[in-house]
């Protein structure tokens, strides 16, 4: 896979799945510490945000199936090992964010607000799975 195609995949993932820099940083924290299970309070301390905001961030990632909720512990979150392709993408996102912090942050900030994107998602057509 060429670097340009991979960069395009990373950018597309950021645009479609990530609402804010704290969302990306929470996802990458979960990715880099897997299989550790995190509470909203622990995540809040790591991201330097309020517990309520961390809980919303984690719930948003959960709704997008980017992370898992630990079935044994309520309100505990972890990164669920995905397919090799998904894990490869996460590794590339992590590496790219470390090297291109300003570019990725600018990409996130240049998007429409989360509420506008959520409204647009409601009208997105999806294919039915066979």
Reference 77, options 25, 118, 114, 42; nearest CA is: 42
Measured distance CA(11)–CA(106) in Å, rounded: 11
Q: Give the domain ranges of the chain.
A: 3-121
Contact 14, 108 (CB under 8 A): yes
Q: CATH for 3-121, among 3.30.413.10, 1.10.150.120, 1.10.10.10, 2.60.120.10?
A: 1.10.10.10
Report percent pLDDT > 90 for the chain: 62
Give residue for tokens 């972890």: 78
pLDDT (0 to 100) of residue 82:
75
The pair of structure tokens assigned to 54 is: 């961390």
Diameter over CA atoms, the chain? 43
pLDDT at 51 over 90: yes
If residue 50 lies in a helix (H) or strand (E), which one and from where to where? none
Backbone angles phi, psi at 39, to 5 degrees: -95, 165
Mean predicted confidence (pLDDT) in 61-83: 84
pLDDT at 1 over 60: no
Residue 15: band (very low, low, confident or very high) from pLDDT cuts 50, 70, 90: very high
Contact 69, 62 (CB under 8 A): yes
Task: Name which residue leads in pLDDT, 4 or 98.
Answer: 98
């Amino acid at each position: 896979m060429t670097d340009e195609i991979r960069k395009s995949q990373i950018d597309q993932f950021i645009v479609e799945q990530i609402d804010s820099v704290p969302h990306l940083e929470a996802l990458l924290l979960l990715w880099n510490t897997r299989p550790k299970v995190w509470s909203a309070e622990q995540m809040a301390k790591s991201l330097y945000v309020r517990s309520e905001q961390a809980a919303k961030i984690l719930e948003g990632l959960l709704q997008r199936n980017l992370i898992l909720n630990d079935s044994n512990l309520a309100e505990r979150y972890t990164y669920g090992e995905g397919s090799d392709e998904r894990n490869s993408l996460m590794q590339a996102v992590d590496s790219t964010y470390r090297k291109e912090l300003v570019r990725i942050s600018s990409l996130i900030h240049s998007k429409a607000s989360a509420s506008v994107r959520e409204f647009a998602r409601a009208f997105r057509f999806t294919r039915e799975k066979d």
